[in-house]
Structure 1
Amino acid sequence: MTVFQEPAPLFPNPTNPLPNPKAPLAFQLAPKTINEFQGQSHLMGVGKPLRNILEQKQLTSLILWGPPGCGKTSYARLVANHLDCHVDMINAVTANIAIMKQCIEQAKQRQKSTLLFIDEIHRFSKTQQDALLPSVESGLITLLGATTENPYFSVISGLVSRCQIVEFKPLSKLSLTKIYDNALDKIKKNNPVKIDPKIKDIVIGECRGDARKLVNYVDIIKNQAIKTKNITLDSIQALLQNQGKSLRKDDHYDLISAFIKSMRGSDPDATVYWLSRLLDSGEDPRFIARRLVIFASEDIGTADPHALPLATAVQQAATTIGLPEIEINLSHVAIFLATAPKSNATYEALKKAKSTIKQGNFHDIPNHLRDSHYKGAKKEGFGQQYQYPHDDPKGIIKQDYLPQKHTFYTPKSIGYEKIIQDRIRWINNYIQKEDR
């Protein structure tokens, strides 16, 4: 479609709801009213936030976060149909800064509010996302972004802080059943056909909460209906199998979970297998790289100091090297992390420290640790009794860094943490000798 075409084809005019039997099935099934929308009862039920936006016609900037086929784009259609505003649609995969600037410039000239829907907003670079900030902040643009990735990682903090983050869930079996029944009614209206009722359970089970996948399956049934008036379970199962991996992708969350747990379990073969499955399913290499960076600190930490630099290196590579070459880098780092010594000591230390603070242990900063480099600091005695560790031949001086003793970090007897254990023991012994 043309990016700024009005009315945009993505958003059919609600005043002209006559169905087009030749339109794609997905377009025919798209909800035109609030009551036709399936799923997300926690957001679209009576009195719930997204329903209130439609009924009260008061839109705020939103980022819709959820797996494929859960209704994010369908909700955007409803917003465009219910609110009196101009609608521009951008897909982050194909759009660039020039297109965004054109949209923003036209919004300035227009005498009505502008809704900018950005599909796959996580695909925008930081520079592209930064370009949106001034217009969103000023209210010139109302942003409606859709993403399958956690926006707290994939969208810049400036946009996240100016938008409401709304999480969509995979569709329930009940919602998928309603969509399936509606789709079959449309098929039978134009093609009187007998369909084995057992097909419904098979198709819905394969969808795993994804309405787009469901529509793809029903499209197969529709095409089969043109050839035969009796659609059996065996014939559909054979057709579905011929669709291959594109119709049988594993669940995003289950795959990444298996991948992480295999690395944590130090199984390099399982790790590279699940990595391959992730890549084979079309997972974004940048998402995989981010998970490797998190894993390096959470599950290895100081047990192997090389883990985090390698993980951050592959994250940088993921932004500059495309497929298929980046797969080699991911395999390299994933296998290294899988075979590295494991320790969550640094992660546990952080949790213990945060827990201590939550319990109300807000210690005053000792005067000798305070900043002494500003006017008036010396008068207050700040930093005056601080002892500089490098003045000691060993670089260790006994002084208090906390008013009350706490032990948060406990290294394990594995990998480099063995060396850290010995180092901590030596430091403690050296300080005790100073006391004597």
Structure 2
Amino acid sequence: MGQEHLTGPGKPLRRMLETGRLHSFLLWGPPGSGKTTLARLLAQGVGKEMIALSAVNAGVKEIKEAVARAREVGGLVLFLDEIHRFNKSQQDALLPHVESGLLTLIGATTENPSFEVNPALRSRARVYVLKPLDEDAVRRVLERALGHPEGLEGVEAEPEALELVAQASLGDARRALSALEMAAQLGHGRVDVGAVKEALGSQTVVFDKEGEAFYDLISALHKSVRGNHPDAALYYFARMLEGGADPLYLARRLVRMAAEDVGLADPLALRLAVAARDTYEFLGSPEGELALAQLVVYLALAPKSNSVYVAWKKAQDLARQHPAAPVPLNLRNAPTGLMKQLGYGEAYAYYHDDPEGSFAQPYWPEGMRPAELYEASGEGWEERVRERLKSLRERFRKAEGSQPHRR
């Protein structure tokens, strides 16, 4: 069920079955999306022997045994579940046999192969991405199980109960089948909504806090805030909290969004972000989560500007290009008599006493071309200061033009 983008007419896995030729590939997808089933179907469909191993408890010894068997039968399919758990040397042991064609490797993983599978092995095996099953596909799997002699044939199930199982499975057919089986036991051969709820227990949204799903969600939250979409931002924020994310981690990310994406378009945003973090630390969960949710909405609705973020990157680049340019003497501090004799602080024009002289004095190190790093955006508070910035720079340029050339 599902995965029509790979199994439909003209699609890669269907073509392999029709031509009877398999190449090595990796199936990357969430639990219960059909990785093992597809591997078995493909091996059977092209008439090749398959050895199935799990990287959790297999090692180089088992790989050598599979290679020996492949030599006996002239090649076979090696299905390696959770291939991301093999270390580099174990993965390297597969390379020569995959490259020679002795082993046709089908690897299954829930983790991103870009990070977990060696580039050398990845280059010899195409990657096919499996999607979580939609609710309709899961429901059809459940209906098939109810009519299958090796499944739950004879068990009656209410349509509403099947819908609830399909919804709660989060696209995982294996989880759905386990829940259906338990509900059938609890209901003594009849599956109703009550039995399903008891079977499901207190399931919550779960993700691997160190895995890609976690960073996909935080990325979606950040981009929804940046894209001015409070509803989507709240949804992703709630998903992360329900999945067990540390609220203070989320608070820190929200403070970063206030500085990076709202910036000076709304200077109040950063203060509110820090206040929301402090509120959570004071109240804890669940009361403090409301303050963070309020912050999510505020940041999503706030005008956006990354002008300071961009200016800061430019300033860092400029500092690396000119790491030792001498500060003009007029801007230097002169706490000692010797420094004063050397000209430190000499001719410094104090703005409040001499505004025009302040504009005329040098601010950049000698030999450096003055740079305009910060550009005010047209959003929020920065829209009001843009004209002032333009006027200030014009005064600097005018004053600089009236001074002797210093470069």
**What TM-score range do you get, normalising by the shorter chain?**
0.5 to 0.7
Determine which of 86, 108, 112 is the counterpart of 2:49: 86
Determine which of 223, 233, 238 is the counterpart of 2:193: 233
Deviations 1:162-215 (A, max 9, x none): 111111111123322211111122389976454322112111111222111111
User: Matches of 1:71 and 1:424 in 2, distance apart?
Assistant: 54
Contact 2:164 2:196 in 1 (8 A): no
Determine which of 168, 175, 179 is the counterpart of 2:141: 179
Mark the CA change 1:45 to 1:187 in structure 2 (over 3 Å): closer, same or farther: same
Partner residue in 2 for 1:430: 367
Deviations 1:21-67 (A, max 9, x none): xxxxxxxxxxxxxxxxx111111112221011112210101111111
Deviation at 1:278, TM superposition (A): 5.9
- The answer to whether structure 1 residue 47 and structure 2 residue 10 are counterparts is yes
Residues 6-405 of structure 1 mapped to structure 2, 5 A cutoff: 38-107=1-70, 109-186=71-148, 192-225=154-187, 227=188, 229-241=189-201, 244=203, 249=206, 255-260=214-219, 274=240, 277=243
Q: Which amino acid aligns with 1:235?
A: A
Deviations 1:328-369 (A, max 9, x none): xxx99999887779669xxxxxxxxxxxxxxxxxxxxxxxxx
Contact 2:152 2:181 in 1 (8 A): no
Secondary structure of residue in 1 paired with 2:133:
coil
Deviations 1:290-319 (A, max 9, x none): xxxxxxxxxxxxxxxxxxxxxxxxxxxxxx
User: Matches of 1:256 and 1:86 in 2, distance apart?
Assistant: 39
Q: Which amino acid aligns with 1:256?
A: Y
Q: Which amino acid aligns with 1:249?
A: V
User: Matches of 2:18 and 2:92 in 1, distance apart?
Assistant: 31
Deviation at 1:230, TM superposition (A): 4.4
Contact 1:122 1:151 in 2 (8 A): yes
Deviation at 1:155, TM superposition (A): 0.8
Structure 2: which 5+ runs fail to align? 226-235, 262-307, 326-363, 371-404
Deviation at 1:116, TM superposition (A): 0.9
Q: Which amino acid aligns with 2:367?
A: Y
User: Matches of 2:82 and 2:95 in 1, distance apart?
Assistant: 17
Mark the CA change 1:332 to 1:156 in structure 2 (over 3 Å): closer, same or farther: farther
Deviations 1:118-167 (A, max 9, x none): 01111111111111111111212111111111212211111111111111
Mark the CA change 1:428 to 1:73 in structure 2 (over 3 Å): closer, same or farther: farther
Secondary structure of residue in 1 paired with 2:2:
coil
User: Matches of 1:90 and 1:72 in 2, distance apart?
Assistant: 13
TM-score after normalising by structure 1: 0.53
Contact 1:72 1:146 in 2 (8 A): yes
Q: Percent identity?
A: 31
Q: Which amino acid aligns with 1:92?
A: A
User: Matches of 1:333 and 1:240 in 2, distance apart?
Assistant: 29
Secondary structure of residue in 2 paired with 1:59:
coil
Partner residue in 2 for 1:27: none
Contact 1:62 1:145 in 2 (8 A): yes
Q: Which amino acid aligns with 1:93?
A: V
User: Matches of 1:257 and 1:263 in 2, distance apart?
Assistant: 10
Secondary structure of residue in 2 paired with 1:162:
coil
Q: Which amino acid aligns with 2:198?
A: A
Contact 1:411 1:421 in 2 (8 A): no
Deviation at 1:102, TM superposition (A): 2.6
Larger Rg: 2
Contact 2:27 2:130 in 1 (8 A): yes
- Cα RMSD between the aligned structures? 4.2
Q: Which amino acid aligns with 1:197?
A: P
User: Matches of 1:103 and 1:260 in 2, distance apart?
Assistant: 41
Q: Tell me the matched-pair count.
A: 276
Q: Which amino acid aligns with 2:148?
A: K
User: Matches of 2:251 and 2:65 in 1, distance apart?
Assistant: 45
TM-score after normalising by structure 2: 0.56
User: Matches of 1:188 and 1:196 in 2, distance apart?
Assistant: 20
User: Matches of 1:88 and 1:279 in 2, distance apart?
Assistant: 39
